[in-house]
Structure 1
C-alpha cells in the first residue's frame, strides 16, 4: 500500500512528542512492507525535491518549515500527483489538515488525521474546522479523543490507537539490578517528581530503593528535595539512558510510578508495565496515564502523596515479574495492523477496494 503522510515539520526539524509519534508510525508501516512517503518542509541541504532516507521518501513541499501558506497552497497538487492509496495527515497545523483534505479529494484517496495533542488541542476556528475533516481521526488516548470531540469532531469518526512498543525487544533484554520503584521522564517543570519523593518520604522508616531515569533543568532541584527529605541515600538519579538500558531497569524494578501532570500517552510507563512492573499513577486531569491501569489488578490510581505511599506498600504484596503479556496489544505489529484496518475500511467506504 502506498501511504502519503503529511506533516509540515518532522523529527528532523523538531524533536517533539507529536513528531516522534508521527515518525514512529511512518517507520512501523515501512517495516511492514508498505511504500511510505512523507510530504513536509525540506530538512536536507541540497535542492533535490525528494530525499530517500531509511526506505522512506520525503517530499519537499516548501523550503521553509515556517512557510505554512506556501505549504498549504502547494500540498493539494503534490498529493494529487502522488498516486497514494490513503493520505495520513498530522493535525498540526490545522490549516495543513484542510489542505490535505483538498489534496486527498483530488487524489481520490481517503484522509485519516492524526491528533496527538501534545500541548493540548487549540480551541479556535481553524482547529474546529480541521476536526470535521478526515474520514477517520486517530488519537493516542481517550483523553485526547475527548478534547477532539469537544472541538467538534463526530465521535463515530474518532479512533484511539496507542503509541507502540516492541514486545520482542523487551524479552531480549537482560533484567537489571532489582529496585523497588522506578520513575522515568524528562526532569522539567511538568515532571512532578516531587509527588513521588514526598510519598517515599512517608515510607522513610521502611526498606526501599528507587531509581530516577531522565535528565533536565529541574534535576538539581529534585536532588536537593530528596536531600531535604532525608531520603537521598536510597534514590539513584541515573540521568538519560538508551532504550535498551531503560528496559533493563524496568525489568529489574517492581513498581513504575507515573506522576506527571500532563501526558497524552504514557509511553515509558507502557514499556515498564510490559516489562513486568506494577503501575502506580497519580491522577491528573490532563494525563491519560490512568487509562493503562484501569481495571487491572497490578495497577493503582492515586490522588495524593499519602495514597501513593499506601499503593507502594500494597504493591509490595504482588509478585515480581520480568514480563507481562497483558500489554501484547501495544506491540508494533498490532498497532500497524490497526492502522491498516482503518486504511482498508476507509478505502472500502470510498469504493476503492
Structure 2
C-alpha cells in the first residue's frame, strides 16, 4: 500500500507527542513493506528534496514551514504520487484542506489525525478541515469528544489508542523496587503536589516512591517533599530512556496518575502493562480515567485523601511485573487498527 502522510512540521521542527506518533506509525508501516512518504517542510540541511529515515521517504514540500506555499504545492505533489491513502495531521487545518484536494485528485481517501496537543482555532478553515476527511483518528474518547465539539461528525471519527512494546517489556529485567512510581514531564499540569500530599498522610507507614521526569516545576516539587518531611523516601529520578522506565515500572508495585492534562495517559499504559496497580485521580482534562474503566487492578480517586487510601488498598494486590491482558495495546496490534482503518475507507471508496 502507498501511504502519504502530510505533516507540515515534524518532530524535527518541534518535538510533540502527536508528531512522534505519526512518524512512528509511518516507520512501522515502512517496516511492514508499505511504500510510505511524509510530505513536510524540509527539516534537513542541503538542497535535496527528499531524505530517507527508518525506511520512510520525507519529501520537502517547502524549505521552511511556509503555510501558503505548502498548501499550494501539496495537492499537485499528491496527485502525481497517487497514494492509496492520504493521512494528514489535523494542524494546521489549511494543510488538511489541501491534503483533501490532493487526495481527490489522486482518488485516495483522506484520514486526518488529531492527538489533541495542538490548537485548532475556531475559524472557517477549521470548519472545512474537520468535515473534509473521511475519518478523523484520535487517541482517546476525550480528544474524540473535543474534535466533535469542533464540528466533526461522530460517524466520521474513530479512536486508536497509543501502544506499548510488549517485547521490550518482557526482555527488560525489573529494576529497583518501589512501592509507588509516577512519571511525566514536570510542568504546571503535572500536579505532583497531590501525590506528595497523599504520601505525607502515610508518613507513619513504610513506603518508597520514585518520580520520573524533569521540567520547570521539578525544583518546586523537591522543595515540597522536603517541607512535608518525606524527601528521604521520595526519589526524583529525572528524565529516563524508555528501557530504564520499563525496568522501573516492572520493579514497582503501584503507578499513580494525577496530571491535570493528558490526551492519552501513555506512561500509565506502560506501567499497567508492566504489572503495576494503577491509581488515577480524576481530572476533567485528562483521559487517564478512561484507560482503567474496566481494568481490575486499579482505583479512581478525586482528592489526596482518597489517593492515600487507594495507595494502602493497592497493597492487597500481589506484585506483578507484566500483564498479558494488555497485549492488545502492543504496537503491532495498534498498527493493525490503522491498516483496518485504511482498508475500510478504500472499500467505502470502491478502491478494493
TM-score exceeds 0.5: yes
Once the two structures are TM-superposed, the CA of residue 122 in structure 1 deviates from its matched residue by 3.7
- In structure 2, the residue matched to 1:80 is 79
Cα distance change, pair 214–152 in 1 and its aligned pair in 2 (3 A): same
Structure 1 residue 32, shift from structure 2 partner: 2.1
Displacement, 1:218? 1.1
- Mapped partners of 1:119, 1:201: distance in 2: 36
1:11–1:20 CA contact under 8 A, matched in 2:
yes
Q: What is the SS of the residue equivalent to 2:111?
A: strand
Q: Which digits, 9 at most, give the CA deviation of each residue in 1:173-206, with x for residues without a partner?
A: 0001221000011111111110100111111111
1:104-123 matches, cutoff 5 A = 104-119=103-118, 121-123=120-122
In structure 1, C-alpha distance between the alignment counterparts of 2:121 and 2:239, rounded to whole Å: 31
The match for 1:2 is 2
Question: What's the CA shift string for 1:208-238, capped at 9, x where partnerless?
Answer: 1000111111111100000000111110111
CA shift digits 1:257-291 (9 cap, x unpaired): 11110000011111111000011111111100111
1:240 to partner: Cα distance: 0.9
1:125-175 alpha-carbon deviations (Å, 9 max, x no partner): 322221101111100000000001111111111110011211111000000
Cα distance in structure 2, aligned partners of 1:302 and 1:199 = 11
Structure 2 SS opposite 1:236: strand
After TM superposition, give the deviation of residue 54 of structure 1 in Å.
Answer: 2.1
Distance 1:209 1:3 in 2: 48
**Structure 1 residues 40 and 328: CA distance shift in structure 2, 3 A:** same
1:298-341: per-residue Cα shift (whole Å, max 9, x none)? 11111100011111111011111000012111111111110111
| 1:213 equivalenced with 2:238 (yes/no) | no
Aligned twin of 2:18: 18
- Aligned equivalent of 1:146: 145
CA offsets per residue over residues 60-82 of structure 1, 9 Å max, x none?
Answer: 111111x1011011100011111
- Partners in 2 of 1:17 and 1:338 — Cα distance? 19
Q: Is the 8 A contact 2:79 2:103 kept in 1?
A: yes
Structure 1, gaps ≥5 residues long: none
Determine if contact 1:253/1:277 at 8 Å carries over to the other structure.
Answer: yes
Q: Is the 8 A contact 1:121 1:148 kept in 2?
A: no
1:183/1:258 contact within 8 Å kept = yes
Q: How many Å apart are 1:295 and its aligned residue?
A: 2.0
| Contact persistence 1:258–1:281 (CA under 8 A) | yes
- Partner of residue 281, structure 1: 280
CA-atom RMSD in angstroms: 1.0
- Residue 4 of structure 1: SS of its match in structure 2? strand
Q: Counterparts of 1:122 and 1:301 in 2: how far apart (Å)?
A: 33
**Distance between the aligned counterparts of 1:311 and 1:195, measured in 2?**
13
Alpha-carbon contact 2:82-2:107 (below 8 Å) kept? no
Shift of 1:120: 5.5
Distance 2:105 2:297 in 1: 50
- Paired residues in the alignment total 352
Q: Which runs of 5+ in 2 are unaligned?
A: none
